[in-house]
């Protein structure tokens, strides 16, 4: 596949671009999937919280949003990161 034809699309708001979103976050709506590094809780937000709503711990959250057509685009969690 020619990399110039790759289209990145946000499933949340429909914004699309021919270039990968900066920091893997949609520039229009800003939503992304975050996974708690301790308990695995998934949350969809602009930025991750300091305290996990599930385990109530101060955790590192990892961006697990899909940004490639192979895993369905940014409206999905990238299964390779779970």
Domain boundaries, the chain: 3-81
Q: Determine the pLDDT at residue 2.
A: 42
Q: Which residues of the chain have pLDDT under 70?
A: 1-6, 11, 23-24
pLDDT for residue 1: 39
Three-state secondary structure along the chain?
Answer: CCHHHCCEECCCCCCEECCCCHHHCCCCCCCEEEEECCCCCEEEECCCCCECCCCCCECCEEECECCCHHHCCCCCECHHHC
* Average pLDDT of the chain to the nearest whole number: 83
- Predicted pLDDT at 53: 94
What integer pLDDT is reported at residue 13 of this predicted model?
79
């Amino acid at each position: 596949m020619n990399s110039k034809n790759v289209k990145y699309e946000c499933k949340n708001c429909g914004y699309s671009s021919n270039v990968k979103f900066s920091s893997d976050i949609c520039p229009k709506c800003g939503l992304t999937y975050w996974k708690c590094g301790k308990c695995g809780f998934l949350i969809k937000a602009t930025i991750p919280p300091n305290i996990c709503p599930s385990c109530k711990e101060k955790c590192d959250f990892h961006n697990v949003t899909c940004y490639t057509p192979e895993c369905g685009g940014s409206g999905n969690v990238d299964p390779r990161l779970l």
